[in-house]
Amino acid sequence: MNNVLSVLQLNTYIKRKFEQDFVLKNVSVEGELSNFKRHSSGHIYFTLKDDKAQVSCVLFKTYLSGIEDELRDGAKVIIKGSVSLYEKSGQYQIYVRKIEKAGIGELFVLFEKLKKKLQKEGLFDERSKRNIPKYAHKIGIITSSTGAAIRDIVQVAKRRNPYVELILYPSLVQGDFAKDNIVKGIEYFNYEESVDIIIVGRGGGSIEDLWPFNEEVVARAIFESNTPIISGVGHETDFVISDFVSDLRAPTPSAAAELAVFDYYEFINKINQYKIVLKNRFESYIQLNRQKLLGLTKLIEQKHPRQSLEDKMLNLEQLRLLLISRGKRTFENKRNLLSILNERLKGKSPLARIDEGYAYITYKGNRVTSINDIKENDQMEVLIKDGKLITTINSKEVI
C-alpha cells in the first residue's frame, strides 16, 4: 500500500522538485504587470501576464531596483528570478530578484491617450467641478450589488449617520457591458431619482478589472452630470479616468462614503456646543442689557417730567410758604406803621378838631377855606360834632 501524504508533505515534495530544476532556478520572463500591490512590509506582489496566461510574482524589498517607482499596472517588464512553490497555499510563483522595464502595456497606452484627450478638452478642469454638499441626506451609489464596495459603503455610512438614505443602482463594474451600466446609473440619478451626491466605484482589481472606469462614455457621463459625483475606485494607488473627471476623487469606496456622509454624531455634538455658546452669549447679552436698562430707568426717572414737576411743585410750595411768611411779616409791619400813622392822623384829623368844637364848612361839596369861596345868599353846609347845619349867607365880613 502506498504511503499517504499530508497536504504539506505533498507541497514540500513539489517545492523541492521546483528547486532542483536548473531552468526554474534562473528564469527570465517578459509580460505585463497587473494587480500591482505594495505591502506595508515593503514587499511587492503582482501578476505577470500575457494575452493567454498569467503567473503570480513576489519581489522582496531587498531586491528593489531603481525603477520601482515607475512600476504600475499595465507596464511591460522583464523579470528575473526563480520559480518555487508556496507550501501554505500550494501556489507556485516567481520569486523575483530583478525587474526591468520592457515597455508600456496596451491598456496603459490607451489610458494615457484618453487622459490627454479629455484633459485637453477641459474635462479635468477644477472650474468645472461641482461642490460636494456638506450635509447630504440622500446618496446614490453605482456599483455591484454583491461586491465588497457596497458593503463597505453601507458600513461606513451607517456608522457615520444612521439617518442618511442610500439608494443603490446595481451595476456591472467590470467587463464589456459595465460601461453602459455605469452610464445608465448616472442618468438614472440625474433624471429619475433625485439625490444629493452620486458615488461611482468598486473595489480593487487589475487594470483590466478597473477598465470600465477608464471608458470615454463613462468619463463624459460623469462630466455632464448635474449631480456631484465622487469616484471611489480600487485602492489608494489605483488611478482611473473617472478619478480625474469626477468632482471629487476618493482612494477607496470606503473613503468615498467617508467624504459623502457627514458624521451625524459630530454634527449633533457641534449643535449642542453651539447651543451652549449661544445660551451663554444670550444670557450675557440679557444681563448686560438688563444693567443698561436699569441705568436708563434711573436716568429716565431723573429726567422724567414727573420728577421735574415734583421738583418744581416742591419749589413752588417752598416759595408759597416763603411768600406767606414774608407777606405776614410785611402785613404786620404795615399794620404797625398804619397804627402809628393813624395815631398821628388822629391829631391832625378834622374830626378830632370837630370834637373839640370846630366846624367843617362845604359849599356844593367843596371845602370852604375863604369868604371868597361863597357869596351872599348861598347855602352852605356846616359839619359839627353831632350833625350838619345848612345855613344861608346873609352877609360877609373880611377880618
Q: Are strands 379-384 and 387-392 parallel, antiparallel or unpaired?
A: antiparallel
3 state DSSP class of 82 = strand
Instruction: Write down the pLDDT at residue 69.
Output: 62
Map grid coordinates 502595456 to a residue: 105
Strand order in 165-170's β-sheet?
A: 165-170, 138-143, 197-202, 229-233, 248-250
State mean pLDDT over 110-129. 92
What's the grid cell of residue 338?
Answer: 398804619
DSSP 8-state assignment for residue 244: H
Q: How confident is the model at residue 373 (pLDDT cuts 50, 70, 90)?
A: confident
Q: Which runs of consecutive H residues, i.e. helices, occur in 89-130?
A: 106-121
pLDDT score for 386: 83
- Rounded to whole angstroms, the Cα distance separating 12 from 87 reads 6
Query: CB 192: neighbour CB atoms within 10 A?
Result: 8
Q: What pLDDT, on the 0 to 100 scale, is given for residue 167?
A: 97
User: Percent of the chain beyond pLDDT 90?
Assistant: 44
Q: Give the model confidence (pLDDT) of 148-204 as tens digits.
A: 999 999 999 999 999 999 999 999 999 889 999 999 999 999 999 999 999 999 998
Residue type, 192: E
pLDDT at 1: 47
Beta bridge partners of 387: 384
> Nine-digit cell at 35?
494587480
Largest CA distance in the chain: 210
* Residue found by looking up cell 501556489 in the block: 91
Question: Can you give the pLDDT at residue 359?
Answer: 80
**Average pLDDT value for the chain:** 87
Handedness of CA 95, 100, 106, 110 (dihedral sign): positive
**Grid coordinates standing for 369?**
377855606
Q: How far is CA 393 from the centre of its chain?
A: 126
217 contact partners, CB below 8 Å, separation of at least 6: 179, 180, 183
Least confident segment among 11-15, 65-69, 250-254, 294-298: 65-69
| pLDDT score of 134 more than 90 | yes
- Chain-centroid distance, C-alpha 356: 117
Q: Which of 397, 368, 399 is nearest to 382 (CA)?
A: 368
What architecture is domain 7-104?
Answer: Beta Barrel (2.40)
Please provide the DSSP assignment of 303-331 as one string.
Answer: H-HHHHHHHHHHHHHHHHHHHHHHHHHHH
Global pTM? 0.55
C-alpha cell at 357: 368844637
Lowest mean pLDDT among 143-147, 270-274, 331-335: 331-335
Give the CATH class of 110-118+134-262. Answer: alpha beta
The answer to whether the CB of 193 falls within 8 A of the CB of 140 is yes
